[in-house]
Amino acid sequence: MAWVKKMFRKRDVAVLIAGVAIVQLLAFLLINRFMFHPVKGGYDRTLDGYVDIGTNGVAVAARVIGPAKGKKVVMYCHGNAEDMTAIDGRFDALVDDGYTIATFDYPGYGLSDGSPDEEGCYRNAHRLYDWLVHERGFAAKDVVVVGFSIGTGVATELAASREVGGLWLEAPYLSAPRAVTRIRLLLIDSFPNCGRIQKVKCPIAMLHGTADSVIPYSQGRTLYDLAPQPKRFIPVEGAGHTDFIDALGRKRYQEMLLSFVRDLSG
């Protein structure tokens, strides 16, 4: 009977290995479908501040609000299931104080061409960064990157690979898959903030609702612990994933962000 038990143990192991392999394959094939929820049709080319910064006939929709070349430029990487109209009313205090606000849409969002994927998000972010530096004349140290939710992965990659003046993250995660699985279960690890945050060489601020049910508050805290100095963590008591501005109060939120931007060197 020992040989029978051994055979069943081998079969169980084989089934387990096959199951894990199938899960990893499905994750690789379907990750973009689950990870991105693109929004289209929310605006047209008459949108205030709209500019196409694409190259080679590939549209990259961007938007610039405020002075053409203000004190600094705040570059916003928006969240999922929204487009670049998300900046409406969000940064009014900074515009009033003489700062420029710039944002863009990921591939497949808004009027940006293509289908959403991780590399495409990075590519569009770098395109806007280059356009702000080379076309609008901002110094690299005067680019302040703000990211919300999935946009924290885009913002962190940019800040880790290019010179920027500051990085402000709202509801950040360790990686996009781990925001769902809580621990690393998949070989693919899209938007790996936890592996990049230590490469950031500018001041960092992170803001996270303590009752966030989409991206656990604990992930924001852990990412903060991994981040280099100088850094600041702002817990928003009782706030969920999308209501942290309401919980803080829009005026207080804008004052906090404005203070962060003003305090940056240069």
CATH class of 39-263: alpha beta
Is residue 187 classed as helix, strand or coil in its secondary structure?
coil
pTM: 0.88
- Domain segments of the chain as ranges: 1-35, 39-263
Helix/strand/coil for 7: helix
Contacts of 98 (CB under 8 A, 6+ apart): 66, 67, 70, 71
Interatomic CA distance for residues 133 and 122, integer angstroms: 17
The pLDDT of residue 177 is 77
Summarize pLDDT for 70-92 with one digit per residue, the tens: 999 999 999 999 999 999 999 99
Q: Digits of tens for pLDDT over the chain (266 positions)?
A: 554 455 556 665 554 454 444 444 434 434 555 578 999 989 999 999 999 999 999 999 999 999 999 999 999 999 999 999 999 999 999 999 999 999 999 999 999 999 999 999 999 999 999 999 999 999 999 999 999 999 999 999 999 999 999 999 999 999 987 776 656 555 577 899 999 999 999 999 999 999 999 999 999 999 999 999 999 999 999 999 999 999 999 999 999 999 999 999 65
DSSP line for 37-48: ----SS--TTST
CB 76 within 8 A of CB 103: yes
Instruction: Please compute Rg for the chain using Cα positions.
Output: 21
Give the residue from 202, 240, 200, 201 showing the smallest Cα distance to 220. 240
The whole-angstrom separation of Cα 150 and Cα 172 is 8
